[in-house]
Structure 1
């Protein structure tokens, strides 16, 4: 399924936050406990973080017809910060399209490497795209420790 990419605006935040929550709850539940998921979702309450996402990063929306199907963001020209796709749109090439946009922008900015901190759930997808694990991270959130992986792709 081909989606159309558009740049996010502040008014897109409610839909982005809803998609973020649905993706984590419905996709990551095989790799993270209910308590870990709730700790992860506490970030939804960080209004400043979400506003700064739009203000300070390049954020692409993947739209299928007029509906938001996924989004990703590029921070500092070389760091893939967010990558989320609605559960019922996964496996359709949307994440690949979003990551490709971030990679293209990273190259345009003259960078030779892109990095990200990737969930347990997304790690196989990223490895299939050629990304390499650099290290495992332990992220304290609330009373939980969330595991993810620093991954990089040489461009």
Structure 2
């Protein structure tokens, strides 16, 4: 695997949606029922563009997008997904390192996320804290997720 991380642009929206769709539908199967996964990612076809206000990085293997992460300017990780066949191969960690580098340059002292069961395990390994668990409703299905945070050591 030859991994390359780059900033994303609007031309990546379809590829990012494909990663999101597969990550939810396939990658979270051990944690969520089929009905929950369908409610979470109802359509393989992208319904709207990604929010242009998000700062987003794409991980590519051989010029093919295999994962991405998107963060709000204040430090909320809004989206973080990796293709199922790339889980455990360093893609999430490489994207995460981009977020940490960006947060340091921005002078942020804290990052936050609402993580799925799948993502929670990754974030816990990176030193994040679970602030609380909650249940949200998506298309009439209840999904458990975790509000998490990471305090950053920023000397500014």
| Matched pairs, number | 151
Q: Deviations over 1:16-60 (max 9, x none)?
A: 11111111111101100111101101386541xx332xx101100
Counterpart of 2:39 in structure 1 is 39
Q: Distance in 2 between matches of 1:46 and 1:139?
A: 21
Q: Distance in 2 between matches of 1:147 and 1:107?
A: 30
Shift of 1:113: 0.7
Shift of 1:142: 1.2
8 Å contact from structure 1 (residues 28, 121) kept in 2:
yes
8 Å contact from structure 1 (residues 137, 147) kept in 2:
yes
8 Å contact from structure 1 (residues 72, 84) kept in 2:
yes
SS of the residue corresponding to residue 6 of structure 1 reads strand
- How much is the aligned-residue C-alpha RMSD, in angstroms? 1.5
Structure with the larger helix share: 1
TM-score by length of 2: 0.91
Shift of 1:76: 2.3
8 Å contact from structure 1 (residues 77, 105) kept in 2:
no
Q: 1:58 aligns with which of 55, 58, 63?
A: 55
Q: Does 1:118 align with 2:107?
A: no
SS of the residue corresponding to residue 135 of structure 2 reads strand
Q: Deviations over 1:62-109 (max 9, x none)?
A: 011211110001112311111101111111111011111112111211
Shift of 1:150: 0.6
8 Å contact from structure 1 (residues 113, 152) kept in 2:
yes
Q: Distance in 1 between matches of 2:47 and 2:138?
A: 13
Gaps (5+ residues) in structure 1?
none
Shift of 1:137: 1.8
Q: 2:148 aligns with which of 134, 151, 154?
A: 151
Counterpart of 1:77 in structure 2 is 74
TM-score by length of 1: 0.91
8 Å contact from structure 2 (residues 113, 149) kept in 1:
yes
